[in-house]
Chains A and B, each alone.
Chain A
């Protein structure tokens, strides 16, 4: 029961938000700029609007949930949505240090366009869906863990034993977009909440972020939103000097970071 309602919750509101946002930005922005940014759609599912998903994480707003004295809420929301076994994290928040001091970096799957995990999988269990999200088909995975060795972002986790399933998981129909019940001996990871974005919802981490630091973006319509504001993706990225994590590796991640130290909430980055 909990599982099914989770899939549908907040459906209408967010879709309306996203669609109206798209219309507003589309009217405001110049058409040629949009055309230049957009990519050819790789496929349309059942009449849905074709998307190329991306994520923007504004590190100016991310203070590791230290100012509200909580554990990182994106992690908690993710674990709740996906009914993850204790200790398993599909997004994690790490502390890094740069010239200005320490900062927090939430690390979900980067949804690499040139994904090492997809390349090395011997059975095609890792694949890109039509929206460019890297999914894992745990009904096909043989558990060789080469993808874990190959992933430069350490985001893949393995079900070393049978993970506990939530009540009602048996009723859920397994799909790579909503991988429940959990499968022993297979690899899993963040899949950008494909089950939520398909219904126009933000991923659980973005919806759960109290600071609204996580944006879901679409490269086709060049729009991104954190559920509160809507921005033109390309402008947002370039004006704020967005970077991609380890972009030098050539994996072409779909996750962008806007550099920052949580200063939007008064956090001091003192070393």
Chain B
């Protein structure tokens, strides 16, 4: 039995008999999503007044989520479409995961628009009056996002057809009727004849080409919602490409995280290899650097010769109310991930492991005990040695040895991560996604908080409703993704098999095979 056949057996097994933890995971995620939905019903009944939004900061979490999720949706396009067009063979086991992210992220992202509306009952006004209002960036968004959703649904469905036929064929005879009906109907009589295959490849090639400009347009017009206004920090010609790059950046980080999760929960290590992570890691690094470059360029241009409002914005971002968040994003969400991505390639760092002081476990224990005592004495406010400390030994002074200890901890972790490429990349991806969510916060909220007229600035404090809807949205995202992976194979089986057959010399037509590149060899 070759790799492709083993993969088929493995994933058909997941569909026939889901893992034991599956119902529990569904229940937990559905519970959180239901709580978020409840929070939305409260908001629907009372009005947006239950949020922390107000006339000075009329947009908050929902718009940030919208930008973030639409950004994540770019994972599918890039990994699947671009790699398909360029004939990158290693893409085969990860295209499906990427395409599902796109669809799920677009659905949850579009839901955010409805959640943000003051009058969701008038949603259809967008259709009734919208087509006469082509000057509105929101109508551009509606047209672009809905086109992208339809396009990516087709782009997800078409390569699913051969796998659906396979599932129907291999389904447990005792499987529920709906499941049989589902696979039979959706597979549309696929038999794998040469004519059908040729047609499938053709449609896929067309869709892969079509979907790329659509995806680019989507995040461009998402940025236009901001840049078409006269707000400081938004009114920028760089915003279109800046957002597109940010979207692909967080999208790749999203697919890396998803790969790690599915690899672990469905035991796919044999097919999703370290090589996949390494290659996506280089793409991620490229986008990371481009995003840093855009960020630098944007703020330098604003800040070099700022007018009053621009100076106020930059003051808020760099050192004012949002200063900590801004530098957290830059250091924690952009610079650190870039270092983590290149870490496994820097072999000379292995020597750090030989330095006696840098044993990670003792250092971590020391750091944890110091941090623990700080929590006990400082945060909980218990009386501690601070009262008895001599005057010069203040907390301000103690900060520096603490920073030093933190530095030693980081250094001691370097050789550990250096030897673990997947861990390193997954940490980078999570940092990037948190960072990119916060970056969108820093795009949306501070610009609204810059006074355009002499008016009292009011801070934005999200309420439990917004936090609940945020949690519910991400739970719903994970739920839809998980359900998909249980009902359909999360790896495109026929594409992997195609590569495996192409591997045999007598049928080789497509150049280097996946196995030859280390793609699917266990």
Contact = CB atoms under 8 A, between A and B. Distances in A.
Contacts of A144: 116-118, 138
Nearest to B134: A122
B119 A185 contact: yes
B126 A142 contact: yes
B228 A124 contact: no
Given A140-B122, A153-B452, A122 B130 contact: yes
Interface string B106-140: 00000000001111001101101110110111110
Interface string A116-135: 10011111100000000000
Interface stretch (B50-58, B321-329, B339-347): B50-58
A119 B136 CA distance: 6
Contacts of A187: 118
Contacts of A156: 55
A214 to B, nearest CB: 18
B119 to A, nearest CB: 4
B389 interface: no
Interface string B486-510: 0000000000000000000000000
Nearest to B132: A124
B458 to A, nearest CB: 12
Contacts of A96: 454
A263 interface: no
Given A119-B135, A144-B138, A149-B58, A158 B129 contact: no
Given A144-B138, A149-B229, A161-B49, A123 B129 contact: yes
Contacts of B136: 119-122, 146
A145 B122 contact: no
Nearest to B130: A122
B126 A123 contact: yes
Contacts of A180: none
Given A156-B55, A160-B47, A249-B230, A142 B454 contact: no
Nearest to A162: B47
B454 A143 contact: no
Interface in B133-169: 133, 135-139, 142
Nearest to B447: A149
Contacts of B58: 145, 148-149, 158
B125 A160 contact: no
A14 interface: no
Contacts of A120: 135-138, 228-229
A160 B116 contact: no
Contacts of B255: none
A116 B47 contact: no
Contacts of A160: 47-49, 51, 53-54
A95 B117 contact: no
A185 B123 CA distance: 13
Chain B interface size, as a band, is 35 or more
Interface residues of A, number: 38
A141 B118 contact: yes
Contacts of B86: none
Nearest to A121: B136
Nearest to A251: B230
Interface in A135-181: 140-146, 148-150, 152-154, 156-162
Given A160-B47, A161-B46, A249-B230, A94 B454 contact: yes
Contacts, number: 124
A10 B290 CA distance: 65
A106 B130 CA distance: 35
Contact of A143 (B118, B130, B455): B118
B448 interface: yes
Contacts of A95: 454
Contacts of A149: 58-59, 226, 229, 231, 448
Contacts of A142: 117-119, 122-123, 125-126
B228 A154 contact: no
A225 interface: no
Contacts of A121: 133, 136
A213 B226 CA distance: 37
A149 B233 CA distance: 12
A197 interface: no
A184 interface: yes
Residue with the highest number of chain B CB atoms closer than 10 Å, among A122, A141, A186: A122
A121 B230 CA distance: 15
A230 interface: no
B133 A124 contact: yes
A186 B119 contact: yes
Contact of B453 (A150, A154, A162): A154
A123 B118 CA distance: 14
Nearest to B444: A149
Contacts of A152: 230, 452-453
B265 to A, nearest CB: 39
Interface string A168-211: 00000000000000001111000000000000000000000000
Given A120-B138, A122-B138, A160-B47, A140 B230 contact: no
Contacts of B312: none
Q: Which of B53, B116, B125, B229 counts the most A-chain CB atoms under 10 A from its CB?
A: B229
A155 to B, nearest CB: 8
A112 B49 CA distance: 29
A255 interface: no
Which 7 A-B pairs have CB atoms at the shortest separation, nearest pair first? A143-B118, A185-B118, A160-B49, A161-B49, A122-B138, A161-B47, A94-B454
29 contacts: A94-B454, A122-B139, A122-B142, A123-B130, A123-B133, A140-B122, A140-B129, A141-B118, A142-B119, A142-B122, A146-B229, A149-B59, A149-B231, A149-B448, A152-B230, A152-B453, A154-B452, A154-B453, A158-B58, A159-B47, A160-B48, A160-B49, A160-B51, A160-B54, A161-B46, A161-B47, A162-B47, A184-B47, A185-B117
Given A94-B454, A105-B454, A119-B136, 11 more contacts: A95-B454, A119-B228, A120-B135, A120-B137, A122-B129, A122-B136, A123-B126, A146-B136, A154-B453, A157-B55, A158-B55
